[in-house]
Amino acid sequence: MSRLAFRAAAAAVGVALLAGYLTAALFVADLLRAAWAARPDLPVLVALLVAGALGSAYLSYRLGTAQILANLEGDRVPRRRAPELHRRIDALAARMDLPRPALYVTDARAPNAFAVGGGSGGGALVIDRSLFGLLSPREVEAILAHELAHLEGNDGFAIAMADGVGRSLVGVATLVALPALLALSGLAAASAWIRGRPGDRSGPFARLHRGLAGALFAGFVLATLVVRSRSRRREFAADDRAAEVTGDPAALARALRRIERATDPEWPLAPFSSQKRTDEAAERWLSTHPSTDERVERLRERAESQGPTRRIPAGPSRATVGQGRSWR
C-alpha cells in the first residue's frame, strides 16, 4: 500500500472514530439533559441524591458485614466453650455500657482481631485462636477493649458510610463529565489517525482528556485519603478508650508490639505472615491504621503518666512504619 493510500485509509478510520465517539457523547449528553429537565425542585433533588448515596453506602455496609461473617474460617463460640473469655467480654461491655457482642474464633493461624457491626445490634468480635498463645490474659483483654471501643463508636459503620458517600460524589462527577470524556477521546483518536500516527496520544485533545480523567481520579483519591485519615484517628481513639477502660495502657502496647512481631515477614516466628512494612509516604496515607510505633509511643507516654508499669517491648525498628493492619 502506497503512503498516500495509507494516509487516506487512516483519515477515513479517524473520521469514523470521531463520528462514533461524538455520537456516543451526544447520546449521553441528551440523556443527561433529559434527566436534568425532568428533575424535581433543587431541594428535593439534593435530598434524593443524598438519600441515594446514603442508601447505597448503607446497603454496601450491611452486605459487606454479612459476607465477612459468612466467610469466616471459624465458628461462633457459645459461653459454655469459653466461659472465661466470655466473662472478660461481659465485664468490659458492662464497663462501656455496650450491648453484648457475639464472639467468633477463627483458625487463620495469624494473630488477628477485629470488630464487625455495632450499634444496637451489638455487633461481633472476631478473634484468631493464635492470639491466645501469643498474648497474656491482660494483653488479650486490652485487645478486646480496643475492639469493643470500635463497636462503642460504631466506627465501621461511620467509615463505611463516609467512604460510600465519597465514592457516590465522585461517581456523579464522572457521569456529568462523561460526554466530555467521550468527545475528547474521539478527538484525540481521530486526530492521531488523520495525522497518520494511530498510536500517538501527545496531541492537545489527548492532553485535555488525560487532564480531565486525572482530575476525576484525584477526586477519588482525595475522598479515599479523607476516609483513611478518619480511620487512623479512630484507631488512636480506640487505643485511648481501651487504656481508659482497662487502666493498663502498657498491656495494649505490649499486645500491639507482639502482634507486629508475629505478623512481620522478617520475624523468624512469622512464617504465615502476608503483612509488609513500608517507609513509603503514599502507602502510609492510604493505610487504615497508624504505624505501630506511633500507637505504642502514645500508649507508652500514657503509661508513664500513670506511674511505673511493666516494660513495653521495643519494636523491630523505630524507623519503620507498618502498613494498615487488619487487627485494630
Helix, strand, coil percentages (3-state) for the chain, rounded to 5, are 70, 5, 25
Q: What is the pLDDT of residue 281?
A: 67
Q: Mean pLDDT per segment of 10 residues, for the chain of length 328 residues?
A: 77 91 95 90 88 89 86 84 91 91 86 82 86 92 95 91 90 95 94 84 90 95 92 94 94 94 60 45 77 93 75 41 36
Residues paired with 125 in a beta bridge: 103, 115
The verdict on pTM exceeding 0.75 is yes
66 HSE (CA, 13 A, CB side) = 6
Supply 252's cell numbers. Answer: 495494649
Position 18, amino acid: L
86 HSE (CA, 13 A, CB side) = 12
Q: What is the pLDDT of residue 71?
A: 83
- Class of residue 120 by CB neighbours under 10 A (exposed 0-12, middle 13-18, buried 19+): exposed
Supply 201's cell numbers. Answer: 496520544
What is the full DSSP assignment across 190-201?
HHHHHTT-TT--
Size of the chain in residues? 328
Distance CA 242, CA 7 (A): 72
Q: Beta-carbon neighbour count of residue 221 at 10 Å?
A: 14
Residue 278 gets the label, from left (phi > 0), alpha (psi -120 to 50) or beta, of: beta
Q: How far is CA 195 from the centre of its chain?
A: 45
Distance CA 129, CA 126 (A): 10
DSSP state of 269: T
Confirm if 212 and 184 have CB atoms less than 8 A apart: yes
Position 204, amino acid: P
